[in-house]
Structures are given as structure tokens and as C-alpha cells.
Amino acid sequence: MTIRSAALLFITGTLAEADVAYNQEKSVVHTLETETALLQRLPSILFPLGPSGNSIISVLYISGLPTILMALMPSQIGKSRLSRLVSFAVGGLLGDIFLHLLPETFLSHSDVERSVSLDTAEPLVLGLGAFSGFLLFFIVDKCLRILQHEELQDENSEEVNEKGSSTSVSTSEGSIRFRKRQLQPSSHSHSHSQTHTHNHNHSHSHSHSHSHDDNQSNSSARTSAFLNLISDFTHNITDGLTLSSAFYLSQNAGSTATMALMLHEVPHQIGDFGLLLQGGFTKRQALKSHFITALGALLGVIIGIILQSEISLGYITPDNGSSASLAAGVLETTIAWKDLIVPFTSGSFVYIVFSVLPELLEVDETSTKKQAFYSFLSDLAFLSLGFTSMFYMEWNE
């Protein structure tokens, strides 16, 4: 082969490789352009309606994904797994409080142009709002426990009447005899009998059962679950207001807010699902409760739509921070009553955490020290995971 032929072959091979590389690069560029165009059109595909309609659609998206995940979870969850799920919920609540609600409460009202007196008063008013949420949930919790305590007393008295002693009197041989009805054995009760002999043969039996303590524990967990539903409903109202405001600003802003809230709500709702199961809810009841709390977001969207409509019609003028409006808020501050929803929710979340923590601090009497320590480490890991997930969501918003 001559040098000329070798050179031609080399040039031809080089051109062929260059052509292949060019075609591959062109294909990659075309793929990227297609994906970019699809991403640009994705908001219009997912939200094809106007601001009001898109706000409602976003609620369906945000509520639908956790519902699907909860529906895929097993109906029966073991005690250890349930404890981990509750730990995850507590971590998520703590993350929501310290990383989302409290910063939003105080940072949204930090305006350097306001006077020193107002800057001093506003944090106090916001703190008062948070304490109001805590106090209200304490009052509701205490009232529910008192009512349930009466119900437990009635149930226990009925059990005593059904399983108690039946007395028969016999006059033969001049003696009075008391016969005790044989109690049905119970897996959770321990029976101790004490016999005292007097002139008459009296036999007294005392039955001590752990079922009363179990009922009180279940009642406490169920009360915490109900309080969590109320708090979630209130929190979802603020989410609905956020969604409607974002979609009336722009479609891209609304879709971004929807994605952020969805990533925020998925771990939060999964944790709440564990709290409901711990409170004695069945899987079906937990799903129904999730649907009810989702109505809070829908209510917030409706309120936001009405407010935006009033603003567009000129019935409501957006507050520009004029001096005339400084004394129109709570306790002569610029804080409106609606601004207390977020601190109120944070206070209610704090109370829910306080009410659930005793359940996590309990040690199973049947477990060994090694098993109890392993369970503690597992709960701590899932609590940290719940907090970390909320931190990650807030960091990347």
C-alpha cells in the first residue's frame, strides 16, 4: 500500500468518525431541546385552567400523592414499626415547627422601616398567637380526657356488674352463704382472691386488670390523633391561601409552590398516618381523616380566590404599609388577625409533640435492656430522619 493510499484511508476514517460524533452530538442536542421544551410546557399541561381552577387542581395533586402512598401501606403494622412511624412523625412535626412555621412567623414581619415600638410589640403578639394555639389545644385535650374518663368509669362499672359476685342466701342449717360467680379468664387480667372468715363465711374477690390502664393509654393516643387532625386542618388552610396567591401571581409561581408544598406534605402526611394508627384508627378511618384535613386546603384556596376577586374588583385595596393602617391590626400593630394563623398552628404543633413524646419514652416491660436500647436507637434514627427530611425540603425551597 502506497503512502497516498494510506493517507486517503486515514482521512476517510477520520471524517467518518467526525460525522458519527457530529450526529451523536446533534442527537443529544435535539433530545435536550425536546426535554427542555417539555419541561417548559409541563406547567401548562398540569395546570391548563385559570388561576382559580389551577389552585383547586393543585390541592388535588398535593392531597392525592400522600393518599396513594398511604393506600399502599399495610393495614396491620407491628408495634415496633408503628413506633418508628410515630417517631418519624414527631421529627417531621419538630422540623415543621423550628424550620418552617416559627421562621415564617417572625421573619415575615421583620421590616426595618417600622418604628422601634412596633418592632418590639409585634414579636410579642406573634408569640401570644403561638401560645394561644398551645393553650387552646391543652383545654380541648383536657376536656376530652375528662369526658372519656367518665366513659371509662361507666364501662368498668358495667364490667363489674357483669363479672361481679352473685349472692345467694340459704337458711338451711341456720347459716348464710355467699357464692361467687366464676369469673371468665382474661388474657390481660390478674385475679387475686382474699378470704376473710367471720361468724359468717364471707368470700371476697378482688380482680385487678390491666385493661383499665390500656384503655387510658389508648384514649390518650386517640385524643392526640384528633388534635393532630384539627391542627393539620388549620395548617392546610394556610397552604391553600399560599397556593391561590401563587397562581394569581403567575402559572410558574403556582406550579413551583405546588411542587414545594407536595414535597413538604408527603413526609408530613405519612407521619400523621402513623399517629392515627397509634390512636386506634383503622386504615380506612385514617384515609377518611386525611381527606377531611385536605378540605382545609380547599377551604384556604376558596378564601384566597374570594380575596383575589375582591382585590381585582377594587373592593379591597392591598395594604402598602401606610401610616393610617399601622394601628389597624391586633393590639395596635400592623399584624392582622389572619397573620396569627401560622403562629397559632405552630403552637398547636408544639402541644401535639408534647402529648406524643410520653408514648415514645415508654419502655416495654416485656423487653430486655438490650432490646429496649435497640428500640430507642431505632426511634431516635427515625425521629432524626423526619427532622432531616423537613430540613432538606426547606433548604431546597
Which residues, 6+ apart, have CB-to-CB distance to 227 below 8 Å? 137, 140, 141, 348, 351, 352, 355
pLDDT of 158 reads 59
* Count of residues in the chain: 397
CA-closest candidate to residue 244, choices 33, 95, 50, 75: 50
Q: How far apart are CA 51 and CA 248, in angstroms?
A: 5
pLDDT of 229 reads 87
Task: Output b/e per residue, 34-44; b: 16+ Cβ within 10 A.
Answer: eeeeeeeeebe
Q: How far apart are CA 300 and CA 239, in angstroms?
A: 7
List per-residue pLDDT tens for the chain, 397 residues long. Answer: 566 666 556 666 666 666 656 666 655 555 555 555 555 677 788 888 888 999 999 999 998 888 898 888 887 777 778 888 889 988 988 988 898 888 888 876 555 444 444 456 788 888 998 999 899 888 888 887 887 776 556 655 655 565 554 444 444 444 444 444 444 444 444 444 444 444 444 444 444 444 555 555 566 677 778 888 888 898 888 889 888 888 888 888 888 888 888 877 888 888 888 888 888 888 898 899 999 999 999 999 999 899 888 766 665 555 544 444 444 578 877 888 878 888 888 888 898 888 888 888 888 888 888 999 999 999 999 999 999 988 887 887 6
pLDDT of 26 reads 58
pLDDT of 6 reads 61
Q: How far is CA 166 from CA 182, 201, 209, in A?
A: 9, 15, 20
∠ Cα 387 363 373 (to 5°):
65
Residue for grid cell 431546597: 396
Sign of CA dihedral 24, 29, 32, 38: negative
pLDDT of 324 reads 45
Q: How far apart are CA 273 and CA 263, in angstroms?
A: 16
208: β partners:
190
Q: How far apart are CA 214 and CA 82, in angstroms?
A: 17
CB 77 within 8 A of CB 277: yes
